[in-house]
Amino acid sequence: MAPHASAAATPSLRFPHPPSATGLASPLAGGCGGFRVRFHPSRRGWGMQGRRDAGSHVPRVGSFLGGVFGGGGRDDGEATRKKYADTVARINAMEPEVSALSDADLRARTAALQERARAGESLDSLLPEAFAVVREASKRVLGLRPFDVQLIGGMVLHKGEIAEMKTGEGKTLVAILPAYLNALSGKGVHVVTVNDYLARRDCEWVGQVPRFLGLQVGLIQQNMTPEQRRENYSCDITYVTNSELGFDYLRDNLAMTVDELVLRNFNYCVIDEVDSILIDEARTPLIISGLAEKPSDRYYKAAKIAEAFERDIHYTVDEKQRNVLLTEQGYADAEEILDINDLYDPREQWASYVLNAIKAKELFLKDVNYIVRSKEVLIVDEFTGRVMAGRRWSDGLHQAIEAKEGVPIQNETITLASISYQNFFLQFPKLCGMTGTAATESQEFESIYKLKVTVVPTNKPMIRKDDSDVVFRATNGKWRAVLVEISRMNKVGRPVLVGTTSVEQSESLSEQLREAGIPHEVLNAKPENVEREAEIVAQSGRLGAVTIATNMAGRGTDIILGGNAEFMARLKLREILMPRVVNPIDGVIVSKKQMPPRKTWKTNESLFPCELSKETLSSVKDAVEVAVKEWGEKSLSELEAEERLSYSCEKGPTRDDIIANLRNAFMKIADEYKVYTEEEKKKVITAGGLHVVGTERHESRRIDNQLRGRSGRQGDPGSSRFFLSLEDNIFRIFGGDRIQGLMQAFRVEDLPIESKMLTRALDEAQRKVENYFFDIRKQLFEYDEVLNSQRDRVYAERRRALASDSLESLIVEYAELTMDDILEANIGPDTLKENWDLSKLIAKLQQYCYLLDDLTPELLESKTSSYEDLRGYLRKRGREAYFQKAEIVEKQAPGLMKEAERFLILSNIDRLWKEHLQALKFVQQAVGLRGYAQRDPLIEYKLEGYNLFLDMMAQIRRNVIYSVYQFKPVVKNQEEEKTQNKGSKKKVDKVQEKCEEQFMIQMRCGGFYWDTASICSFLLELWVLQANFARQPSTLFLV
């Protein structure tokens, strides 16, 4: 290291059943058989209001409020339609000409467009022809002709804006229009989705279009090797999840050789469900962690203390800030139990363990925030309801939850690299996105990402009816009303989608439905449900289907009325094909603790609308037999088999006879299923379409609108209604005194409440939540911007070292600057010559570099007459010492010096950057208190962060040059090595194992390890140096 410069049962609600299947009124919108309670604030009394006429509903609040009681007037996209009308007309005018082209001629258009793009023609001028070509290819490959509004969506995306397109309007197909156009430049396009399933689905489905047109289309999946990632990222268009892309960026900046880099330079990025990624996930930065020390038994002790402590006696809970504080009694009792004098004693540091244990008890709940599976605590994404595999809470919180649940505590971690989604995606020169709900967050998109939100018109008018909300005093009344609503809709055959906000709620409602005898499906983070997600969604629109989904919003799969015949056909073909061709052990990285259960791909038979005829089943089995003979029995990886299955289930042209046979089988299955699903669709439409039931308000109106948007796709009928309670978390935590007052005023649990005061209070509560979380995201962005400028500088220095063929100039620069540092630390520029302490200076110089052993005070006095002369002379000696050392090393081991320099620069950057991240974390926590002293915490953070950064950069170069001067390669001849190996092989193995373990810890990224051998081929030669590093402090002093 280099030196430092200075020192019980309740009667259920009864609702009459409607006289017909059409025009259904929700139980509490006028179809209620009882009375509605109305509170008149002005008269301070109660009144009983008879029910309204059937079909009437509360007028909806306007677009600004937008949320708690309905939608209101808003931009319908007509202005956008007019803006792009001329370009759409030009594309449509090309259609006859393009349609007449052969497949070969259509593909040839790609090469011609690429040539024009390389010649300097703007992509804007290529847009009409490119879009016309993609539209025609889509017709031929997918059997889908993009509508004019989809062309408009593509133009909005190409312009670098966010396109708001309603559910079912074909956003997935829209993405390939600008992706194809921007890929013509040859600089690459990333299409980002929220999970691996959607990335694979989109790549295998719509990705066929650019593939048909001659472009390369890549796919990134979680368990791919670096080689596979590099190959797929080099394609013209790459489908990838936001987390995989972000972690690959961080891993690239931890790489030890150029060969480990997988990403190409960023160019153009299309983000699907852009609000989910840039807003919902923006509060959580991407972090790559390495293993730190082994877990302490203090977690178990702290968990026992938390279990014994009582809320409001030993501690208080702030649910809004998600924080806990110990009371005076809590402090005293904790110190007594632990037999310590001070809970915050830095030598003991018990406070963090106790506070995390209380947080785990009060704020992080099983089956809400996480689930326990195979003795492992798995985080549940609050926005999607999915398990976030590989993610862990930081700062000891995850370990505290593991102690609470009594499962094995995993090692603590330390941050190696991190970045927020905001700053990560802002690295793209051109960024755009699409979603069904973005307008409510347009201010945030524009202020942080400089992205304009443009509403794209729907192809067909939306006729979904969003009924006004039903509000109860207590949750018991709300859930009884939800059960009645589901029962009523189910009896007339309407499919129902019920949105819940936690696994716990979905399981509870499922139990109630079972008791009521209502068949249903549950879609939540439980593993048995996750495996069946695709089939559950595929049947959610069928006659009488009831689906309970935890945070369904943003799942990316449309619910088709009557059922999705083609998707069901794919599942049936998959069920027959996959067990025959997939190798049970296909190289996927699995946990060392246990092997995964054998996959069967068996689908619940109740999903399928009918049994296949013997003729169809026989032809399917024959096609599968032919495929097995050609591909081999159990010879493919799951990813390879899924890709071939996908090609078999599409309509594009193919020259592969095996795929063609499977495709014929698929079409036969789909045709038989369509007979039933089309008939069922008519019945569902007659009944009123899909009915969405919301059971709790989310933190944003946008997420509520996503849930509503599952109904009424492509002009289908449908309806939605939210059932709320004043005890819901959002109103209980953020509602304030007004909600508390209303809860005291309303005493009846089972009757819905209608009040203008309540309307305003609930709307205000939701706006508070939106503003609160926006402030959190904004603060994270502001603080990460400080770190981002530093990150860019460090990563640029690292990339410079990684990519350079020769590091000589960089090391020489380090040597000269280090000589300057030592000189300034020991003899300042303002010190008179007669006061120079040359002996002290020489001692420090020789401590750094043993090759300067000829320096004496007399020599320095004879060579210099001023401070600048001394500075120049020492710089010269620093350079000469480096060249002398390089010559010595090259004689012993040719080529080693260059590799050693690279290794030393990269390892020092990584280690000190890791320590810098930890230091900045502490600074960020500390500056918050300075607000009480009327000082801006952000400015304080910037100042301290800047000073820490300068110190770190100086320390990197000092550590590197010190290591270059000091290290000595160990070179042995073969006879010596054979003799020593006989007697001390175990010792060598132990040293190598220790070095490799250190590298593993440093390079552990995203669930798999980089190959140590490829990181550093000269690992053994440097083990002595590494051992020296381990004994030295992080900072070497210059004085």
pLDDT per residue as tens digits for the range 940-983: 999 999 999 999 999 999 999 999 988 877 655 555 555 555 55
With beta carbons less than 8 A apart as the criterion, state whether 363 and 379 touch: no
Q: What is the mean pLDDT of residues 261-281?
A: 90
Domain spanning 78-286+423-455 has what CATH number? Answer: 3.40.50.300
Supply the mean pLDDT for the chain: 79
Q: 351-362 and 397-405 are packed helices; what angle lies between their axes, rounded to 10 degrees?
A: 60
Q: 123-141 and 85-99 are packed helices; what angle lies between their axes, rounded to 10 degrees?
A: 50
- The count of other CB atoms within 10 Å of the CB of residue 644 is 20
Which residues fall within 8 angstroms of residue 175, CB to CB, at 6 or more apart? 154, 157, 191, 202, 206, 270, 272, 434
Per mean pLDDT, which range of 30-44, 622-636, 675-689 is the poorest? 30-44
Using pLDDT thresholds of 50, 70 and 90, give the confidence band for residue 735: low
pLDDT at 561 over 70: yes
Ramachandran sector of residue 700 (left: φ over 0; alpha: ψ -120 to 50; beta: rest): beta
pLDDT score, position 540: 86
Cα separation of 1024 and 913, whole Å?
A: 23
Using pLDDT thresholds of 50, 70 and 90, give the confidence band for residue 741: low
Q: Which of 780, 759, 809 is nearest to 280 (CA)?
A: 780
Give the 3-state DSSP-derived string for 722-767, with helices as H, strands as E and coil as C. Answer: EEEECCCHHHHHHCHHHHHHHHHHCCCCCCCEECHHHHHHHHHHHH
pLDDT per residue as tens digits for the range 180-232: 999 999 999 999 998 887 888 888 889 989 999 999 999 999 888 999 999 99
Cα separation of 379 and 287, whole Å?
A: 15
Q: Which CATH class is domain 293-411?
A: alpha beta
pLDDT per residue as tens digits for the range 395-421: 788 999 999 998 988 877 777 888 888
pLDDT score, position 179: 96
Per mean pLDDT, which range of 414-428, 494-508, 749-763, 946-960 is the poorest? 749-763
Cα separation of 589 and 59, whole Å?
A: 55
Using pLDDT thresholds of 50, 70 and 90, give the confidence band for residue 713: confident
pLDDT at 29 over 70: no
pLDDT at 924 over 90: no
- Cα 603 to its chain centre, rounded Å, is 29
Cα separation of 667 and 648, whole Å?
A: 9
Angle ∠(373,696,476) on CA atoms, nearest 5:
90
Among 38-42, 269-273, 751-755, which range has the highest average pLDDT?
269-273
Q: Which of 963, 916, 902, 789 is nearest to 416 (CA)?
A: 916
Per mean pLDDT, which range of 127-131, 473-477, 802-806, 1027-1031 is the poorest? 1027-1031
pLDDT per residue as tens digits for the range 325-345: 899 999 899 989 998 888 877
pLDDT score, position 382: 67
- Cα 941 to its chain centre, rounded Å, is 27
Q: How many residues does the chain have?
A: 1039
Between residues 23 and 912, the one the model is more confident about: 912
Cα separation of 489 and 774, whole Å?
A: 37
Q: Where are the alpha helices (DSSP H) in 254-296?
A: 274-275
Q: What is the mean pLDDT of residues 124-153?
A: 93
Side-by-side strand order, sheet with 237-241: 217-219, 237-241, 189-193, 268-272, 430-435, 162-164, 453-455
Among 465-479, 482-496, 891-905, which range has the highest average pLDDT?
482-496
The strand pair at 217-219 and 237-241 is best described as parallel
pLDDT score, position 1016: 37
pLDDT score, position 527: 58
Between residues 16 and 616, the one the model is more confident about: 616
Q: Which of 648, 120, 116, 272 is nearest to 133 (CA)?
A: 116
pLDDT score, position 468: 82
Domain spanning 804-969 has what CATH number? Answer: 1.10.3060.10
Q: What is the mean pLDDT of residues 844-853?
A: 88
Q: Is 559 helix (H, G, I), strand (E, B) or coil?
A: coil
pLDDT score, position 590: 38
Q: Is 458 helix (H, G, I), strand (E, B) or coil?
A: coil
Cα separation of 900 and 1024, whole Å?
A: 13
- Cα 322 to its chain centre, rounded Å, is 21
**Measured between alpha carbons, how far apart are the two ends of the chain, in Å?**
14
Q: What is the mean pLDDT of residues 562-566?
A: 85
Ramachandran sector of residue 337 (left: φ over 0; alpha: ψ -120 to 50; beta: rest): alpha
pLDDT per residue as tens digits for the range 273-324: 888 888 878 777 888 877 666 667 889 999 999 999 999 999 999 887 788 9
Q: What is the mean pLDDT of residues 82-93?
A: 93
Read out DSSP for 50-95? PPPPTT--PPPP-TTT-STT---S---SHHHHHHTHHHHHHHHHHH
With beta carbons less than 8 A apart as the criterion, state whether 167 and 713 touch: yes
Using pLDDT thresholds of 50, 70 and 90, give the confidence band for residue 1023: very low
Q: Where are the alpha helices (DSSP H) in 635-656?
A: 638-648
Q: Is 868 helix (H, G, I), strand (E, B) or coil?
A: helix
Using pLDDT thresholds of 50, 70 and 90, give the confidence band for residue 123: very high
pLDDT per residue as tens digits for the range 511-525: 999 999 999 888 876
Q: Which of 37, 553, 476 is nearest to 280 (CA)?
A: 553
Cα separation of 374 and 593, whole Å?
A: 10
Overall pTM > 0.75: no
Q: What is the mean pLDDT of residues 61-86?
A: 59
Cα separation of 69 and 695, whole Å?
A: 14
Give me the half-sphere count of Cα atoms (radius 13 Å) on the Cβ side of residue 259.
Answer: 9
Fold annotation for 468-561+689-728+738-763:
Rossmann fold (3.40.50)
pLDDT at 687 over 70: yes
pLDDT score, position 381: 73
pLDDT at 586 over 80: no
Per mean pLDDT, which range of 120-134, 761-775, 1018-1032 is the poorest? 1018-1032
Using pLDDT thresholds of 50, 70 and 90, give the confidence band for residue 444: confident
What residue type is assigned to position 292 of the chain? A
With beta carbons less than 8 A apart as the criterion, state whether 188 and 182 touch: no
pLDDT score, position 160: 94
- The count of other CB atoms within 10 Å of the CB of residue 111 is 12
Between residues 40 and 647, the one the model is more confident about: 647
Percent of the chain surpassing pLDDT 90: 31
Cα separation of 672 and 613, whole Å?
A: 8
Domains 78-286+423-455 and 468-561+689-728+738-763 are alike in CATH topology = yes
Q: Where are the domains of the chain?
A: 78-286+423-455, 293-411, 468-561+689-728+738-763, 565-590+598-679, 804-969
Using pLDDT thresholds of 50, 70 and 90, give the confidence band for residue 63: very low
Cα separation of 213 and 978, whole Å?
A: 60
Sign of torsion, CA 965 969 970 971?
negative
Q: Which of 715, 581, 563 is nearest to 642 (CA)?
A: 581
Between residues 1009 and 398, the one the model is more confident about: 398
Q: What is the mean pLDDT of residues 613-638?
A: 88
pLDDT score, position 699: 75
Which residues fall within 8 angstroms of residue 713, CB to CB, at 6 or more apart? 166, 167, 168, 169, 558, 559, 560
Using pLDDT thresholds of 50, 70 and 90, give the confidence band for residue 46: very low
Read out DSSP for 770-814? HHHHHHHHHHHHHHHHHHHHHHHHHHHHHHHHHH-S--HHHHHHH
